[in-house]
């Protein structure tokens, strides 16, 4: 048996055109697929959504988001190890990403001020200046 070659986008297009009142024959002609394929995807319909796993509902995503955004350099990987080590990191990251998009504004997610690094750079410049003064005093 041949593999399905219709993409998810095309399947959605079939459903959309059917809802708009196009006949099976017209949909098949416009999309250049067989009428049998059109019928197949109209009969299948949209799949049922699964319920979220229990661990996703048990996590306090607001506190996780606050920790990542405003914490002291805590990474998502570290939080994953603390909160849900039994779940794979990839699943945790996907759930975090989905929850972050719901709870945070785009400016919170995309902009992060690194004030601690600014302090580090200032102290590093001061150390270099002190070191330079000490080295020039020795040569005189």
Tell me: the pLDDT tens digits for 73-132?
A: 788 899 999 988 999 999 998 898 888 777 666 665 555 555 545 454 555 555 554 544
Tell me what pLDDT residue 140 has.
47
Above 90 in pLDDT, residue 19?
yes
CATH top class, domain 8-44: mainly alpha
Q: What residue ranges do the domains of the chain occupy?
A: 8-44, 51-140
Tell me: the pLDDT tens digits for 21-69?
A: 999 999 999 999 999 999 998 988 655 567 788 888 888 888 888 888 7
Tokens of 44: 């299948």
């Amino acid at each position: 048996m041949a593999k399905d070659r219709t993409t998810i986008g095309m399947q959605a297009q079939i459903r959309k055109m059917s809802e708009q009142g196009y006949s099976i024959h017209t949909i098949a002609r416009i999309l250049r697929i067989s009428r049998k394929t059109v019928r197949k995807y109209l009969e299948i319909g949209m799949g049922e959504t699964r319920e979220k796993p229990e661990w996703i509902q048990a996590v306090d995503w607001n506190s996780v988001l606050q920790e990542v955004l405003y914490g002291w350099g805590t990474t998502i990987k570290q939080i994953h190890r603390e909160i849900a080590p039994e779940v794979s990191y990839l699943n945790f990251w996907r759930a975090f990403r989905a929850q972050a998009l719901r709870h945070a504004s785009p400016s919170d997610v995309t902009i992060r001020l690194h004030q601690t690094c600014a302090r580090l750079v200032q102290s590093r410049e001061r150390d270099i200046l002190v070191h330079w003064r000490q080295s020039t005093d020795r040569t005189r």
